[in-house]
Amino acid sequence: MDPRYPHPLIAREGWPFLGLAVAVALAFTVFAGWWSLPLWLVALFVLQFFRDPPRPVPGGERLVLSPADGRVIVVANARDPYADRDALKISVFMNVFNVHSNRAPVDGTIERVTYFPGKFVNADLDKASEHNERNALLIRTAEGSLVSCVQVAGLVARRVLCYVAAGERLTRGQRFGFIRFGSRLDVFLPPGARPCVAIGEKVYAASSVLAELAEAGEGDARG
Protein backbone atom coordinates (compact mmCIF):
# COMPACT_ATOMS: atom_id res chain seq x y z
CA MET A 1 0.00 0.00 0.00
CA ASP A 2 1.25 3.45 -0.89
CA PRO A 3 2.05 5.27 2.40
CA ARG A 4 0.79 8.48 0.82
CA TYR A 5 -2.73 6.95 0.79
CA PRO A 6 -4.40 7.36 -2.62
CA HIS A 7 -7.54 9.16 -1.39
CA PRO A 8 -6.68 12.86 -1.42
CA LEU A 9 -8.25 15.32 1.00
CA ILE A 10 -11.21 13.28 2.29
CA ALA A 11 -10.94 9.87 4.00
CA ARG A 12 -13.15 7.17 2.53
CA GLU A 13 -14.72 6.66 5.98
CA GLY A 14 -16.17 10.16 5.80
CA TRP A 15 -18.09 10.05 2.54
CA PRO A 16 -21.34 8.60 3.99
CA PHE A 17 -21.33 11.16 6.82
CA LEU A 18 -20.45 14.03 4.51
CA GLY A 19 -23.07 12.99 1.95
CA LEU A 20 -25.77 12.81 4.63
CA ALA A 21 -24.80 16.16 6.17
CA VAL A 22 -24.83 17.93 2.80
CA ALA A 23 -28.12 16.30 1.76
CA VAL A 24 -29.84 17.40 4.97
CA ALA A 25 -28.43 20.92 4.68
CA LEU A 26 -29.59 21.19 1.06
CA ALA A 27 -33.08 19.98 1.94
CA PHE A 28 -33.41 22.54 4.73
CA THR A 29 -32.03 25.27 2.47
CA VAL A 30 -34.86 24.68 -0.01
CA PHE A 31 -37.52 25.05 2.69
CA ALA A 32 -35.90 27.34 5.26
CA GLY A 33 -33.34 29.44 3.39
CA TRP A 34 -30.72 31.02 5.65
CA TRP A 35 -32.14 29.23 8.69
CA SER A 36 -30.29 26.19 7.37
CA LEU A 37 -26.91 27.83 8.10
CA PRO A 38 -26.25 25.76 11.28
CA LEU A 39 -26.64 22.59 9.22
CA TRP A 40 -24.06 23.84 6.71
CA LEU A 41 -21.71 24.46 9.65
CA VAL A 42 -22.26 20.84 10.69
CA ALA A 43 -21.43 19.71 7.14
CA LEU A 44 -18.28 21.87 7.25
CA PHE A 45 -17.27 20.24 10.55
CA VAL A 46 -17.75 16.76 9.04
CA LEU A 47 -15.64 17.82 6.05
CA GLN A 48 -12.74 18.99 8.21
CA PHE A 49 -12.94 15.98 10.53
CA PHE A 50 -12.55 13.45 7.72
CA ARG A 51 -9.77 15.26 5.86
CA ASP A 52 -6.83 12.95 5.13
CA PRO A 53 -3.96 14.83 3.47
CA PRO A 54 -0.83 13.10 2.15
CA ARG A 55 2.20 13.50 4.41
CA PRO A 56 5.96 13.48 3.79
CA VAL A 57 7.65 10.54 5.53
CA PRO A 58 11.14 11.27 6.96
CA GLY A 59 13.97 8.82 6.37
CA GLY A 60 15.96 6.99 9.04
CA GLU A 61 15.72 3.25 9.71
CA ARG A 62 15.39 3.50 13.49
CA LEU A 63 13.01 6.45 13.61
CA VAL A 64 9.56 5.89 15.14
CA LEU A 65 6.95 8.13 13.56
CA SER A 66 3.77 9.41 15.12
CA PRO A 67 0.81 7.17 14.23
CA ALA A 68 -1.63 10.06 14.66
CA ASP A 69 -2.10 13.81 14.66
CA GLY A 70 -2.54 15.38 18.07
CA ARG A 71 -0.86 16.33 21.31
CA VAL A 72 1.67 14.25 23.23
CA ILE A 73 0.21 13.46 26.66
CA VAL A 74 2.54 10.70 27.92
CA VAL A 75 6.30 10.16 27.64
CA ALA A 76 7.22 7.71 30.37
CA ASN A 77 8.56 4.31 31.30
CA ALA A 78 5.70 1.82 31.57
CA ARG A 79 4.78 -1.83 31.31
CA ASP A 80 3.84 -2.94 27.80
CA PRO A 81 0.99 -5.44 28.37
CA TYR A 82 0.97 -6.50 24.72
CA ALA A 83 4.64 -7.53 24.52
CA ASP A 84 4.86 -8.30 28.28
CA ARG A 85 7.96 -6.22 28.96
CA ASP A 86 9.11 -2.88 30.30
CA ALA A 87 8.91 -0.15 27.67
CA LEU A 88 8.98 3.51 26.80
CA LYS A 89 5.37 4.65 26.38
CA ILE A 90 4.43 7.63 24.21
CA SER A 91 0.76 8.59 23.88
CA VAL A 92 -0.85 11.00 21.42
CA PHE A 93 -4.30 12.45 22.13
CA MET A 94 -6.50 13.41 19.17
CA ASN A 95 -9.29 15.96 19.59
CA VAL A 96 -12.16 16.34 17.12
CA PHE A 97 -10.22 18.89 15.07
CA ASN A 98 -7.25 16.60 14.34
CA VAL A 99 -6.83 14.31 11.33
CA HIS A 100 -7.96 10.86 12.53
CA SER A 101 -6.26 8.66 9.95
CA ASN A 102 -3.80 6.31 11.69
CA ARG A 103 -0.35 5.60 10.18
CA ALA A 104 2.25 2.91 10.85
CA PRO A 105 5.03 4.19 13.16
CA VAL A 106 7.73 1.78 11.88
CA ASP A 107 8.57 -0.60 9.05
CA GLY A 108 7.88 -4.16 10.10
CA THR A 109 5.74 -7.28 10.09
CA ILE A 110 2.59 -7.51 12.19
CA GLU A 111 2.93 -10.39 14.63
CA ARG A 112 -0.43 -9.96 16.29
CA VAL A 113 -3.57 -7.81 16.14
CA THR A 114 -5.74 -7.95 19.25
CA TYR A 115 -9.07 -6.22 19.86
CA PHE A 116 -10.23 -5.45 23.40
CA PRO A 117 -13.83 -4.35 24.12
CA GLY A 118 -14.11 -1.78 26.87
CA LYS A 119 -15.42 1.52 28.15
CA PHE A 120 -15.41 5.00 26.58
CA VAL A 121 -13.92 7.28 29.23
CA ASN A 122 -12.10 10.46 28.21
CA ALA A 123 -9.11 9.39 26.11
CA ASP A 124 -7.05 12.20 27.66
CA LEU A 125 -7.03 10.23 30.93
CA ASP A 126 -4.28 7.63 31.36
CA LYS A 127 -6.74 4.98 32.58
CA ALA A 128 -8.21 4.97 29.06
CA SER A 129 -5.20 2.88 27.99
CA GLU A 130 -6.36 0.06 30.25
CA HIS A 131 -10.15 0.37 30.34
CA ASN A 132 -11.32 1.73 26.98
CA GLU A 133 -12.13 -0.13 23.79
CA ARG A 134 -8.84 -0.56 21.94
CA ASN A 135 -7.04 -2.40 19.17
CA ALA A 136 -3.37 -3.34 19.55
CA LEU A 137 -0.84 -4.04 16.78
CA LEU A 138 2.38 -5.82 17.73
CA ILE A 139 4.96 -5.01 15.04
CA ARG A 140 8.38 -6.67 14.60
CA THR A 141 10.97 -4.55 12.80
CA ALA A 142 13.64 -6.03 10.52
CA GLU A 143 16.23 -5.56 13.30
CA GLY A 144 14.04 -7.52 15.72
CA SER A 145 12.58 -4.70 17.82
CA LEU A 146 8.98 -5.08 19.00
CA VAL A 147 6.76 -2.02 18.79
CA SER A 148 3.19 -1.99 20.14
CA CYS A 149 0.83 0.50 18.51
CA VAL A 150 -2.56 0.75 20.21
CA GLN A 151 -5.69 2.50 18.93
CA VAL A 152 -7.76 3.62 21.92
CA ALA A 153 -11.38 4.80 21.70
CA GLY A 154 -12.40 7.92 23.62
CA LEU A 155 -15.40 9.57 25.25
CA VAL A 156 -17.04 10.40 21.92
CA ALA A 157 -15.22 7.91 19.69
CA ARG A 158 -17.33 4.78 19.28
CA ARG A 159 -15.61 3.05 16.39
CA VAL A 160 -12.03 1.86 16.07
CA LEU A 161 -11.27 0.80 12.50
CA CYS A 162 -8.25 -1.37 11.63
CA TYR A 163 -7.53 -2.60 8.10
CA VAL A 164 -4.50 -4.85 8.66
CA ALA A 165 -3.98 -8.37 10.02
CA ALA A 166 -1.26 -10.55 11.48
CA GLY A 167 1.40 -11.51 8.92
CA GLU A 168 1.09 -8.34 6.86
CA ARG A 169 4.05 -6.04 6.38
CA LEU A 170 3.72 -2.35 7.17
CA THR A 171 5.71 0.54 5.75
CA ARG A 172 6.30 3.62 7.91
CA GLY A 173 3.61 6.17 7.22
CA GLN A 174 1.26 3.58 5.71
CA ARG A 175 -2.37 4.10 6.59
CA PHE A 176 -3.65 1.20 8.69
CA GLY A 177 -6.78 2.48 10.42
CA PHE A 178 -9.09 5.24 11.51
CA ILE A 179 -10.83 6.27 14.75
CA ARG A 180 -13.97 8.37 14.64
CA PHE A 181 -14.47 11.49 16.78
CA GLY A 182 -11.65 11.92 19.30
CA SER A 183 -9.33 9.29 20.76
CA ARG A 184 -5.66 8.42 21.42
CA LEU A 185 -2.80 6.27 20.15
CA ASP A 186 -0.36 4.59 22.54
CA VAL A 187 3.07 3.46 21.31
CA PHE A 188 5.21 1.13 23.45
CA LEU A 189 8.89 0.95 22.52
CA PRO A 190 11.67 -1.37 23.75
CA PRO A 191 14.04 -0.18 26.50
CA GLY A 192 16.85 1.87 25.02
CA ALA A 193 14.56 3.85 22.73
CA ARG A 194 15.25 7.58 22.92
CA PRO A 195 12.22 9.91 23.01
CA CYS A 196 12.31 12.85 20.60
CA VAL A 197 9.16 14.62 21.85
CA ALA A 198 7.95 16.12 25.12
CA ILE A 199 4.56 16.25 26.82
CA GLY A 200 2.36 18.95 25.29
CA GLU A 201 4.08 18.90 21.92
CA LYS A 202 1.92 18.80 18.78
CA VAL A 203 2.71 15.98 16.37
CA TYR A 204 1.53 14.93 12.92
CA ALA A 205 0.91 11.40 11.66
CA ALA A 206 3.71 9.98 9.45
CA SER A 207 5.69 13.24 9.61
CA SER A 208 6.66 13.79 13.24
CA VAL A 209 9.36 11.67 14.88
CA LEU A 210 8.34 10.36 18.31
CA ALA A 211 11.51 8.43 19.17
CA GLU A 212 14.57 6.63 17.90
CA LEU A 213 15.05 2.91 18.50
CA ALA A 214 18.31 1.66 19.94
CA GLU A 215 20.74 -0.10 17.62
CA ALA A 216 20.48 -3.88 17.40
CA GLY A 217 21.95 -5.46 20.49
CA GLU A 218 21.20 -2.47 22.76
CA GLY A 219 18.41 -2.58 25.33
CA ASP A 220 15.64 -5.14 24.92
CA ALA A 221 15.61 -5.10 21.11
CA ARG A 222 14.37 -8.65 20.82
CA GLY A 223 11.36 -8.07 23.11
The pLDDT value given to residue 182: 63
Task: Say if pTM beats, i.e. exceeds, 0.95.
Answer: no
Read off the pLDDT of residues 170-213 as tens digits, 9 standing for 90 and up: 999 999 988 876 688 999 999 999 999 999 999 999 999 999 99
Q: Is the pLDDT of residue 157 over 60?
A: no
Look at residue 222 in the predicted model and tell me its pLDDT: 45
Catalytic residue among 36, 101, 183, 208: 183
With 70 as the cut, is the pLDDT of residue 2 above it? Answer: no
User: What's the rounded mean pLDDT across residues 21-32?
Assistant: 87
Whether the pLDDT of residue 120 is over 70: the answer is no
- Identify which has the larger pLDDT, 156 or 39: 39
More confident: 175 or 7: 175
pLDDT digits (tens, 9 = 90+) for 75-108: 999 999 999 999 999 999 988 888 888 999 999 9
Please indicate whether residue 13 or residue 179 has the higher confidence score (pLDDT).
Answer: 179
What pLDDT score does 127 carry?
53
Can you give the pLDDT at residue 34? 83
Predicted local confidence at residue 221, as pLDDT: 44
Q: Which of 9-18, 163-172, 175-184 has the lowest mean pLDDT?
A: 9-18
Looking at the DSSP bridge assignments, the partners of residue 215 are: none
What is the mean predicted confidence (pLDDT) over 131-142?
87
Q: What is the pLDDT of residue 84?
A: 92
Per-residue confidence (pLDDT) for residue 158, from 0 to 100: 58
- For the chain, domain boundaries: 12-49, 63-212
Does the annotation count 183 as an active-site position?
yes
**What is the predicted pLDDT for the residue at 147?**
96
pLDDT at 3: 45
What is the predicted pLDDT for the residue at 223?
46
Which pLDDT belongs to residue 110?
97
What average pLDDT is seen over the chain? 83
Residue 130 is predicted with a pLDDT of 60
Domain 63-212 maps to which CATH number in 2.120.10.30, 2.70.70.10, 3.40.50.20, 2.60.40.10? 2.70.70.10
The DSSP secondary structure of the chain, one letter per residue, reads --TT-SS-SB-GGGHHHHHHHHHHHHHHHHHHGGGGHHHHHHHHHHHHHTB---------TTEEE-SSSEEEEEEEEEEETTTTEEEEEEEEEE-TTS--EEE-SSSEEEEEEEEE--B---TTSTTHHHHB-EEEEEEE-TTS-EEEEEEEE-SS---EEE---TT-EE-TT-EEEEE-SSEEEEEEE-TT-EE---TT-EE-TTTSEEEEPPPTTSTTTT-
